[in-house]
Amino acid sequence: MQKINKENLQAFLQEQKENWPLASSNYKGLEKVEEKEFQFEGFKIKVQFNPKRIKSTAAKVDKKAIEKRDCFLCEQNRPELQTKIELENNYSLLVNPFPILKEHFTIAKNDHTNQNFIDHIGDMANLAESLEGYSVFYNGPKSGASAPDHMHFQAGENDFMPIDTEYFDRKKNYGKLVTWNGRFEVYRFNHYLRKMISIEADRAQDIVSASQIFYRYLEKLQPNEQEPLLNAICVYKNKKYRLYIFPRKLHRPSQFFAEGNGQLLISPGAVDMGGVLITPRKEDFDKITKEDIISIYKQVSLDDLVFDKLCHDFTKLVMI
């Protein structure tokens, strides 16, 4: 396993900040972003005002719009000053020039191939191991990815998203064991605004097989989609893989499309599901309320009954 240590990654980021004006100005801008927190029962949700994210939040990701533009993750279209770290398994690690996190990377596959979770879940686990100390995250083509046509992950420092620090407490106090079979342990999380399951395993291949079972079930719920709507976050710590999956039912909440004062330009992706809502407009940052947050997560997450059935059926499938 190729290990990329933190010092090398930080040196790479520093080099890009020094030599690439876009990265330089946007990482400087990040120092001034505003953040606030909303406290819920035993957990928190952060809101970040980040004007540089407007492009990504408001990105048109329908087929037509995507076909019209040059893919910004393909090597031949990347800015000349954007350099890369070549990774194993046909991936390149790039500095994300529109950061949310202090160390924000995009990990793009070297081929132009559709964003796809299930064929790359093993890669995701391996990347998390290579990048220990970072969270690797995935946005589905209709769940926050601004390049749905080019397979990629993102990575950022651990402990930025509340889920990173809340996980074990949450699991102890509110998590419910779905199944444990000696190879992987699956928990479900209710009362967390968004619906989430976690998979923990010692081996990447067990993360893959547990995810596959879930995925096949999710696929049946949304048969007309290119892939079922979801976000995922993977970390590797203390020789253990941990994967969080957020099954979704909607790309963008009604507030995104509302007009006038009712509009909140929020388009949730993995970071938002991990507990940091990104608002590129100051007025949204100022006016967002606890009720808005509850409503947004509720709209984009699977419904209670569907989630219950998913977890229930998963237990049965594992036992077969």
Q: List residues near Zn ion by CB under 5 A.
A: 71, 73-74, 112, 150
Q: Nearest distance from residue 84's CB to Zn ion, in Å? A: 14
Give the separation between CA 89 and CA 109, rounded to whole angstroms.
8
Give the separation between CA 66 and CA 59, rounded to whole angstroms.
10
Question: Based on CB atoms, which residue is closest to Zn ion, 50 or 115?
Answer: 115
Give the separation between CA 9 and CA 247, rounded to whole angstroms.
31
Q: Nearest distance from residue 60's CB to Zn ion, in Å? A: 16
Question: Based on CB atoms, which residue is closest to Zn ion, 86 or 219?
Answer: 86
Question: Based on CB atoms, which residue is closest to Zn ion, 54 or 74?
Answer: 74
- 166-180: buried (b, 16+ CB within 10 Å) or exposed (e) per residue? bbeebbeebbeebbe
DSSP annotation of 301: B
Asked if residue 34 lies in contact with residue 276, where contact means CB atoms within 8 angstroms, the answer is no
Question: Based on CB atoms, which residue is closest to Zn ion, 117 or 187?
Answer: 117
Question: Based on CB atoms, which residue is closest to Zn ion, 115 or 126?
Answer: 115
**Listed residue (277, 248, 285, 308) closest to 44, CA to CA:** 277
Question: Based on CB atoms, which residue is closest to Zn ion, 84 or 150?
Answer: 150
- Residue 130 makes CB contacts below 8 A (sequence gap 6+) with 1, 2, 3, 4, 87, 88
Question: Based on CB atoms, which residue is closest to Zn ion, 150 or 194?
Answer: 150
Q: Nearest distance from residue 78's CB to Zn ion, in Å? A: 10
Name the residue type at position 190.
N
Q: Nearest distance from residue 69's CB to Zn ion, in Å? A: 10
Q: Nearest distance from residue 280's CB to Zn ion, in Å? A: 24
Count of CB atoms situated within 10 Å of the CB of 139:
26
Q: Nearest distance from residue 116's CB to Zn ion, in Å? A: 13
Q: Nearest distance from residue 72's CB to Zn ion, in Å? A: 8
Give the separation between CA 44 and CA 127, rounded to whole angstroms.
28
Torsions phi, psi for 137 (to 5 deg):
-130, 155
